[in-house]
Structure 1
Amino acid sequence: VNQVDKRTLEKYQNEAREKSRESWYLSWALDTNEEERGKRKKGKTVEVGRAWFETEKKHFIILDAPGHKYFVPNMIGDAAQADIAILVISARKGEFETGFECGDQTREHAMLVKTAGVRYLVVLINKMDDPTVNWDQTRYEEIRDKLTPYLKKCRFKHVYLDLIEIIDGPLRMPIVERYKEMGKIESGCCRIGDRCLIMPNRTRVEITNIYYEDIETDSCVCGENVRLKLKNVEEEEISSGFVLCDIEQEACGVGRVFNA
């Protein structure tokens, strides 16, 4: 935290803007070797999420590949290693249509994972709690009925569609970049007009704008990396590591000492 000074961040912001990759400057600041910097010049990233867990009989490795069209080469590399693919679909009005009917990104990813040798695909329909959907069963069935024929056309024999409910709990968003109020929603959700609390200073703020992947939206949910504009607070009053919390529920705890 705070290991990259403001001038360096501004440099990466300008470089990203020139390459039409405005939202990538934070990842560029973390590039530490020549291979990563070389891939940056080609408009790609080498950052792929990895995690693992074990059962009594199996060892599982999870590869989390971005869904953006600029990251397709990374997705292919991960798919080639996978036995099972999980395709996360947004039920939010407009987002599903963009990925499936307009930009064809959803179609492309499904086809590519099959081409890469993945035999099983699990489809998860997310954001059913979004205000544009509001748990509408008709919306779920609409997406299912559009996806299923295409996935069968890709020769998937086992297609599972299910609903994911947002992680329950009060709003928690650790702030990564104080100048833009950027961070990941770790729990809960928020909308334009919501009144929140910035801990540990207990500053009361109001959300005036929400940006998701440079697209302005009216709400965001758990798991999304977003940029917020806040009212009633100055930039210099916010530091990396502060946490945006729900004002109507208990705020996150504050400690002065911790054992490592």
Structure 2
Amino acid sequence: MGKDKIHISIVVVGHVDSGKSTTTGHLIYKCGGIDKRTIEKFEKESSEMGKGSFKYAWVLDKLKAERERGITIDIALWKFETNKFYVTIIDAPGHRDFIKNMITGTSQADCAVLIVAAGTGEFEAGISKNGQTREHVLLCFTLGVKQLVVAVNKMDSTEPKYSEARFNEIKKELTAYVKKVGYNPATVPVLPISGFHGDNMLDKSDNMSWWNKQKIERKSGSYEFTTLFDALDNIEPPTRPTDKALRLPLQDVYKIGGIGTVPVGRVETGVLKPGMVVKFAPTGPTTEVKSVEMHHEALTEAVPGDNVGFNVKNVSVKDLKRGFVASDSRNDPAKEAADFTAQVIVLNHPGQIQAGYSPVLDCHTAHIACKFAELIQKIDRRTGKEIEANPKTIKSGDSCIVKMVPSKPMCVETFQQYAPLGRFAVRDMKQTVAVGVIKEVNKKELTGKTTKAAEKALKK
């Protein structure tokens, strides 16, 4: 995978049986990073297990099974190419931790692909109050996924098959809903497909003569599309935040013989270079970066989206841990948060939440209990207007401005300034009970020691 095409990430969302795996599997199968040998092997196993009908979904099932058994699968398997882009599929929702992963920034998607099933009753189940369709779309919007593509799947199972009337009925309802959430429907392609049979996936369907080229207008210019492939090929490429200060949340820290301490993580904003003096927040040391590498190759600089390991001087493994954030000591260094204010949306909490509630927050790679110290105001989630000041309690469906206090040193940022460090999931009872975006952070002054190497480098 060269650097010639732009890398983008998509997240595929939708109700449980909408056909996400089949549709995604189809794209990977036709345009993807899976070599023919692997495909043949999967196909053989699939037919032996009598799963022939599960045409493309097994590609994903196989990958998921390997992932769940803890086998890190070659990430290339989750990629496919369009004419302009290398596309990485971030997570297969339906995965229990999907919401958590989306927020903790294992992923930031450039575009969400919403898949809904067109079958009688199926669409209605997905979009109903307790279906996942609504929640996924709302989450995508809240968490800053700016672009949306909607695929109305299983057109082969409508009454009659490939029904234009059914498509239009679904399109009308979805358009109203995405608008209500905050997307501009004029910029959202909605198209009829069959992920299983391949209609309008890569080629125009012969089964829907009523479906013709559609036009999408947006600020950067308009484009036409007929198929899902066209719509994905016209995603607006993201601008990567290289101009911001460095923020790199640590995923792990390794001790490598002969090299020393190697923290690993993904650059979220800014640039990491050898020779830079980095500060590890909230309470870690300040030290010099000796080298940076990705996929076992040395880099002269790492940019947002790069998963890197970097070697630091005079620091022991126990001084650093997952959830710490590396930043440039000379450019807006990261600091510990004394407390922060966030807009919290309660998704599914069985009871009432009141001040004093202390669930675990997953924010970037940090996993720390935080106290809801004060419920400041309940607001209308659509307009942002206040409904009630200082509510006693909040429940599922409510949106509230909350002052939060971490139980242990923690580094967070505002969503406005450093989005990946400014959104979080609230975990309790083994599920995501709420999500939040951070509006303000009250920071503590710097703590942590400065190594000799850093002092020397800073004098230069």
TM-score (norm 1): 0.42
Higher normalized helix content (fraction of residues): 1
Q: Which of 1 and 2 has greater Rg? A: 2
TM-score (norm 2): 0.25
